[in-house]
């Protein structure tokens, strides 16, 4: 056993919360829904963050926005908000979340680089306004919430030397750094040295995000940056067992992929749970898998016959069809 590697796995105290470990599922629009959050926690994720939810939608009482508030039965979940730089509106939205869900862990998205989000003055658009970021965190703290803040390294130029101290001084309970510029979107490489730089600016819990694709990646980012936790996003889409693999790797120096038998059973369970928890049944009463086909397709990647199976899943629409597809062992292409 590698004692250095073993020490990478530990609980993290964030505000009033003690999270069981430091391997967390990131907020991803379209993917961090309730069922996927539950799925990731079933494989050991110590925290799961909701999809980002619009402050304005909550404050205005938008019905579709309120559908994101279902965190029933969830532990170790934080609720992510995004909006324009109005601290009072953020506070009002946080109160709605806490009153309706009981969830007191609020995360603020200062990192979304999507153009339409930035055009509204939200997400990464606020990175050039560290005083406003600070005021938002302070307003949320005044509601009694535990507050996390997720940032990128800047919009067009690195400015974490301004944003990290501002969030620290405002009392953020957690700071998550994705070390890419907003203009990079998800291209290029995450510059982990910027997370190490952020570490020198705050003693608050610091989480690394970006380009953690495997257990060795998770170990390396902790070792190289001194961060307290790791947030895994795209690598966990449809493949939540990465959290179990990381835990095994930290504890033993080894990890194994799940068997096809386990994948087959878990995918059917996932599809059924999603349809009941996150979507209403189809008019014909059959269970739709259309919204989660991307996750299902990603889950079978790497198995023999995956190319054919992925194509078949892409054409399927219901749980019944999925169960038929997964009934037999995949056939390896010649």
CA dihedral for 233, 106, 228, 151, sign (positive or negative)? positive
Question: Both ends of the chain: CA-CA distance in Å?
Answer: 41
**Of 143-147, 205-209, 237-241, 320-324, which gets the smallest average pLDDT?**
320-324
Cα–Cα dist 46/328, whole Å: 33
Top pLDDT among 269 and 306 is at 269
Task: Indicate where the chain has its CATH 3.20.20.70 domain(s).
Answer: 3-252
Q: Is the CB of residue 267 less than 8 Å from the CB of residue 56?
A: no
* pLDDT category of residue 328 using cuts at 50, 70 and 90: low
Fold (CATH) for 3-252: TIM Barrel (3.20.20)
Top pLDDT among 156 and 288 is at 156
Most confident region among 64-68, 206-210, 290-294, 314-318 by mean pLDDT = 206-210
Q: Using one digit for the tens of pLDDT, what is the confidence trace for 168-211? A: 999 999 999 999 999 999 999 999 999 999 999 999 999 999 99
Task: Tell me whether residue 112 is one of the annotated catalytic residues.
Answer: yes
pLDDT of 139: 98
User: Do the beta carbons of residue 36 and residue 50 sit within 8 Å?
Assistant: no
Q: Say if residue 334's pLDDT is above 50.
A: no
Q: How many CA atoms lie within 13 A of 27 on its CB side?
A: 27
pLDDT in tens, 2-60: 456 678 999 999 999 999 999 999 999 889 999 999 999 999 999 999 999 999 999 99
Supply the pLDDT for residue 304: 74
- Which of residues 125 and 333 earns the better pLDDT score? 125
Region 247-254: mean pLDDT is 95
Over residues 123-178, the pLDDT tens digits come to 999 999 999 999 999 999 999 999 999 999 999 999 999 999 999 999 999 999 99
Determine the Cα–Cα distance for residues 298 and 304; give it in Å rounded to an integer: 14
How much is the pTM? Answer: 0.92
The tokens describing 104, both together, are 């007191």
d(C-alpha 177, C-alpha 183), whole Å? 16
Distance CA 194, CA 286 (A): 49
Which entry of 8, 112, 207, 227 is annotated as an active-site residue? 112
């Amino acid at each position: 056993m590698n004692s250095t590697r073993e020490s990478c796995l530990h609980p993290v105290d964030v505000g009033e919360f003690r999270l069981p470990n430091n391997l967390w599922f990131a907020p991803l629009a379209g993917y961090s829904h309730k069922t996927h959050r539950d799925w990731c926690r079933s494989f050991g994720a110590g925290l799961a963050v909701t999809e980002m939810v619009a402050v304005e939608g909550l404050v205005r009482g938008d019905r579709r926005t309120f559908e994101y508030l279902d965190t029933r039965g969830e532990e170790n979940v934080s609720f992510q908000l995004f909006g324009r730089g109005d601290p009072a509106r953020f506070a009002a939205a946080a109160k709605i979340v806490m009153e309706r869900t009981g969830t007191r862990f609020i995360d603020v998205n200062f990192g979304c680089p999507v153009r339409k989000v930035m055009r509204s003055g939200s997400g990464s658009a606020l990175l050039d306004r560290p005083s406003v970021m600070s005021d938002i965190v302070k307003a949320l703290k005044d509601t009694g919430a535990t507050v996390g803040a997720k940032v990128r390294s800047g919009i067009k130029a690195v400015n974490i030397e301004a944003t990290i101290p501002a969030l620290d001084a405002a009392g953020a309970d957690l700071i998550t750094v994705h070390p890419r510029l907003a203009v990079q979107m998800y291209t290029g490489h995450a510059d982990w040295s910027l997370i190490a730089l952020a570490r020198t600016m705050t003693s608050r819990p610091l989480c690394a995000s970006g380009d953690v694709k495997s257990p060795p990646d998770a170990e390396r980012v902790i070792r190289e940056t001194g961060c307290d936790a790791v947030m895994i996003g795209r690598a966990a889409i449809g493949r939540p067992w990465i959290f179990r693999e990381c835990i095994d790797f930290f504890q033993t120096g080894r990890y194994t992929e799940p068997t096809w038998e386990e994948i087959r059973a878990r995918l059917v369970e996932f599809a059924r749970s999603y349809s009941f928890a996150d979507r209403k049944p189809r008019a014909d009463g059959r269970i739709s898998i259309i919204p989660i086909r991307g996750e299902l397709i990603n889950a079978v990647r790497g198995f023999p016959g995956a190319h054919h199976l992925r194509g078949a899943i892409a054409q399927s629409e219901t749980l019944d069809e999925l169960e038929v597809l997964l009934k037999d062992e995949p056939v390896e292409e010649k």
